[in-house]
Structure 1
Amino acid sequence: MAGAVTVGRANYADPRHAAAMVMLLDAYARDPAGGGEALSAFARENLVASLAARPQAYSVLAFDGDQAVGLVNCIEGFSTFACRPLVNVHDVAVLASHRGRGIAEQMLAEAESIARERGAVKLTLEVLSGNQPAMRLYERMGFAGYQLDPAMGTARFLQKWL
C-alpha cells in the first residue's frame, strides 16, 4: 500500500535526496516528454553538486512513503522590467506510476511558495505542445502564454545548442 505523499524542498547535501534527484531526472529524461534518452554519465555524476554550487537553484521533491516519486528543478533569473527575480521551473517530473494524483500540482505550489519567499515577480516554464496533461495542469495553476502587446503575439521559446 502506498504511503502518504510528502512534498518539500530538496536538500542537496542529503545523500537520499541527491540519489532521488538523479533517479527522477533520469526517469524523466527517458520518458518521451523528456526526450527518450537516459541522462549522460556526466549529468548523473555532477547534477546535484552543480545545482548546489548555484545559489539561484532550488529543487522540490515528492515522496510516497519512502519512495521518491516527483521532482521540480527551479533556476532563479532576473526580470529587468520588474527589477526583481523571476524563477524558471526547469523540470517537472513525476514517475509514470504516480501521475494523475496531483503530485506535480503540490510540487509546483511549493516551488511557487519558495519563489515568493525569494521575492520573485513570476514563474516561467516551457512545455511541449503535445503534452496536453501538463498544459491543462499549468493553465489550471494560472500559467498562460507570455505577451506584452497582443498585436506583437505571444512569446516563443527558442534554443541554440553550444
Structure 2
Amino acid sequence: AVEVVGDLLQEYAQQERQASFEQWRARLEDNVVQQMAWVKKRADEAHAASKPPGPLAAIDCMPLQRILASLPRPEGVAVSLSITAEGLRKATKCMLHKACGPDQWDAASLLRLPGQFWEGLAAVWNQALSCNKAVDLILGFAACVWSGAGGLYHGLSCPVA
C-alpha cells in the first residue's frame, strides 16, 4: 500500500510540474515582452558565468578571520613526521585518475620525474616540517582554488591571524 501511495504521489507531482510548465508557456506564448525578458535573463546568466571573478582586494576576509579568532586554539602536540620519496610517489600514484592541478601537472607526469626529484622534495618537506614553516603557512592562510570559465584558475587567500 505504501508503494502505491508513493507511486501516486510521484505521478501527481509530475503532473503538477507539467501543468505549471504548460501554464508558464501559455503566458509567454502571446507576450513578446515577457519572451524578450526571459531570453535576456538567460543571456545575462550565461554571460555572468563566463566572467572572471573580481580582484582579490574585493574579497572581504574579515568575517572568516572573526570566526576563526573565536575558536579555541589547540594545544601544541609534538608530532614527528618523516616524509620519504617512496611515500610521496605512493601518494601521487593514488591520484592517477584525478584531474590536473592549477599548474596543469597531472599525476602521471609527476611520476615520470626522476628519483632525485622525489628525494629532494622529501628533503624539502622534512626541513619545512622540522622548522614548523609548513604549519605556519597552513595556519596563516585559508586558500582555495577553483576552475573558472575557459579553464582559467582563480585563487583566494585570506590571512588567518
TM-score range, shorter chain: under 0.3
Which has more strand, going by share of residues? Answer: 1
TM-score (norm 1): 0.26
**Which has the higher Rg, Structure 1 or Structure 2?**
2
The higher-RCO structure (CA 8 Å, 6+ apart) is 2
